[in-house]
Structure 1
Amino acid sequence: MSADPFQAETQAGRLLLRFSGPLDTAAAVRHWEEAHRKARGAGAVTLDASGVTALDSGGAALLVSLAGPEAEWHEPTDATARGVLDRFRSGLGPPAAPQRHHHRHFRPITALGAWTVGRFRLLLARLDFFGEAAVTTAGLTAKPWQLRWSEVLRHLDEAGTRAFGLCLLIGTLFGVILAFQSSVPMRQFGAEIFIPQLVGISVTRELGPLLAGVVLAGRTGSSYAAELGTMRVNEEVDALRTMGLDPMAWLLVPRIVASTLVMPALSMVMNISAIIGMGFVMAGLGFPPIAVANQLEQWLSLGDLAGGLGKSAIFGLAIGYVGCRCGLNAGAGPRAVGDAATGAVVGGIISLVLLDGIFAVLFFRLGW
């Protein structure tokens, strides 16, 4: 540290105040009175701080207080010291004027236009995500050995095997309820023998895949969204991109493949359990199992079962996609994961209903 960073001398009628070396708070305190006393007694002052090598807020306060409106400045040449001096000067500036909150007048046309533009941008973002997911899935379908099959098996176990018990319970109860409710009007016409036909066709064609889809959306869709949303909040998805890994191929495709493959199995479990539940009701009404089996064999075709299972695979694809999209597009903050899981369940059920309506119209037109 320099022994005397301050020197004062007179040159051509001007007072030269020269500072050199580190000018910290301690040095500023030592020379504050002397420097100001000499500056007050001089007409013209030249302030030379070009030799200052280190500066803090105390030294900057000394230099700024000595620099009058007519003083000649030689600022520090050291970049760090000059930066400290500039920040100190900016802090002495006038306070920013308070922002005035202007009253916003309600303009229906402007609000409608802003809403329309926002919906259109959201649609473009979803189409962009769908296109990227479709291209990635198609690329891995052409090269199945690059797919992470261990992850596919793990999600098959979580989405399928662990959901069998719930599907058995719901299917059995639903078969019992549907058979009991059908028996009330059927009994008026003595047509209780046709209950297996009603329950079998309705379950295999519509209700089995639909109920299995609701179970998958509630369990697996929300799980996908919560897991991927947590990874998004923790910046693990960005870390994958930084390492050169595609999050679509690494995270999305195994989950979509698993949900697509597991849905026909869940739908089949739902169908069988509903028919078993209906069989209990028929036995209670006095119909032997052979009569129920004959009715199912006579009226239930393989096409009904195949149509329901094929439809359920599309349901699984949609549910997996919606869950992954909600998770990967989760925002920041503590509510992001919860919002993503809620959006996955709601979006999955809505997609189920829309797809089921499309398939109903398509099957009707095809006479299936």
Structure 2
Amino acid sequence: MESTTAPATLTRRDDALALSGRLDARSVAALWHEALAAVTPATPLTIDLSGCTYCDVSGSALVLALEERAGARTTLRGAEPGVARVIDRAREAYARRPPPHPVAPPGLAVAIGEAVVGKVQDLGDRIAILGRTATSAVLTAVNPRSLRWPDTLHQAEEVGSRALPLICMIGFLFGLILAFQSAIPLRQFGADIFVANLVAVSVFRELGPLLSAVILAARSGSAFAAEIGTMKVNEEIDALTTMGLDPIRFLVMPRLIAAITMMPVLIIAMNLSAVAGMATVMMSLGFPWAAISIQVVTWTSPADVLGGLIKGLVFGAVVAGIGCSRGMSTGVGPRAVGEAATAAVVGGIVAIVVLDGIFAVLFYLMGW
């Protein structure tokens, strides 16, 4: 069989599809899609190989693919003995291939077992990240200079100051809504003035830290997961590990400290905005500011504000920890970052509600 360097060419004739030149791996790769597109499915096909000077396994694979696409009787014409022998051997090997084994869907027990194993592994990863975070927190407390303070201040700005407009708007609207909704039933008993008490106590003890934590989870928790998840997908975290840098201390600790320290600021802003919204409604109903302030100061105590701040510190730590852990455990693929951000928001809100219920029981038992 003569071997030349002439590249393979494809020519479509009325009665045949002509392949000429050297049918090797490089030429076949360039001609593959064009050759298959030139064949009409379920139509008799004649392949003219009179101009083919060389054929290897790749060339014979192209010929067999053309025969399979035609799906009807295929005729080879003009092939040299060496070329025809290679194609015949490939056809025999193709005919002797074992049939594909059907993949049976897993049974119910297998599916449940795989799901349980996956959840256990995921829980183990979360516990490992929690332990590494606790260790990094202790090391950071012992040696504060090891913390990246510029990055921490940047995260504090993102979590705190840039969230203040949203916090103030939502707090003002919630105070406005609560005042209007509670003024209607209380007016029936001539107790309009007690709207200030109701709104102040409910916001200081419950709604202030709860709404601030939900906004933190929706705004910053998802951002933490997306940022760290993008680094995980781009293998930047692996690069940090290769350079001997701890990703937990480098990425997680600045975000965790920023969330914890900014939560009291957000809660205080939420409380003041809600009181301002309530006062706006009360003043529109004819009550002076002096009467409103006396009701708020008389019926609330520093313990109410302190309890909300304590809950806020715990909420901030949990939301930041969940967001960072979801980012650190991000998988691969184009949907991984979005799934991590979604899981961070959902997990953060669920954790906030559960912890708020626990705090409610504890405060009740403590008489606080």
- Bucket of the pairwise TM-score, normalised by the shorter protein: 0.7 to 0.9
| Aligned-partner residue type, residue 229 of structure 1 | G
Match of 2:25 in 1: none
Superposed displacement of residue 218, structure 1: 1.2
Aligned to 2:181: 181
Q: Deviations over 1:49-101 (max 9, x none)?
A: xxxxxxxxx9x99xxxxxxxxxxxxxxxxxxxxxxxxxxxxx97945534311
Distance 1:235 1:105 in 2: 33
- For residues 258 and 334 of structure 1, do their structure 2 counterparts lie closer, same or farther at Cα, with a shift above 3 Å needed? same
Aligned-partner SS, 1:101: coil
Kindly provide the CA deviation profile for residues 32-58 of structure 1, in whole angstroms up to 9, marking residues without a partner as x: xxxxxxxxxxxxxxxxxxxxxxxxxx9
Amino acid at match of 1:207: L
Relative to 1, partners in 2 of residues 1:97 and 1:153: Cα closer, same or farther, differing over 3 Å? Answer: same
CA distance in 2, matches of 1:230, 1:257: 21
Give the equivalent residue in structure 2 for 1:12.
Answer: none
Q: Is 2:154 the counterpart of 1:123?
A: no
Cα distance in structure 2, aligned partners of 1:275 and 1:302 = 15
Q: Partner of 1:53 in structure 2?
A: none
Read off the aligned partner of 2:231 and give its amino acid letter: M
Report the CA distance between 1:188 and its aligned residue.
Answer: 1.2
Structure 2 counterpart of 1:68? none
1:172-220, Cα deviation, whole Å (9 max, x unpaired): 0000000101111111111111111111111011100111111111111
Output one character per residue of 1:240-287: Cα deviation in whole Å (capped at 9) or x when no partner. Answer: 011111100100000000001011100100000000000001101111
Q: Deviations over 1:299-325 (max 9, x none)?
A: 100011011011101111111111111
Counterpart Cα distance in 2 of 1:122 and 1:223: 21
Q: Tell me how far apart the structure 2 counterparts of residues 153 and 105 of structure 1 sit (CA, whole Å).
A: 51
Distance 1:165 1:105 in 2: 52
1:323 aligns with 2:335: no
Which amino acid in the other structure matches residue 100 of structure 1? H
Unaligned stretches of 5+ residues in structure 2: 6-53, 58-88
Residue 143 of structure 2 corresponds to 143
Partner residue, 2:271 = 271
Aligned-partner Cα distance in 2 for 1:169–1:156? 20
* Aligned residue type for 1:166: L
Deviation at 1:113? 3.1
TM-score by length of 2: 0.73
**Residues of 1 paired with 2:328 and 2:106: CA distance?**
37
Residue identity (%): 48
Q: Equivalences for 1:186-197 in 2 at 5 Å?
A: 186-197=186-197
Question: 2:74 corresponds to which residue?
Answer: none
- Closer/same/farther in 2, CA of residues 111 and 332 from structure 1, 3 Å limit: closer
1:259-298 correspondence to structure 2 within 5 Å:
259-298=259-298
Superposed displacement of residue 135, structure 1: 1.2
Aligned-residue offset at 1:134: 1.3
- The match for 2:342 is 342
Structure 1: runs of 5+ lacking an equivalent: 1-24, 28-57, 62-90
* Separation of aligned partners in 2, 1:179 and 1:99: 71
Question: How far apart are residue 133 of structure 1 and its match?
Answer: 1.3
Give a deviation string over 1:214-250, Cα, whole Å, max 9, x none: 1111111111111111111111111101111110010
C-alpha deviations, 1:125-183, integer Å up to 9, x for none? 21112111111122112211111111110011111001111111000000000010111
Rg larger for? 1
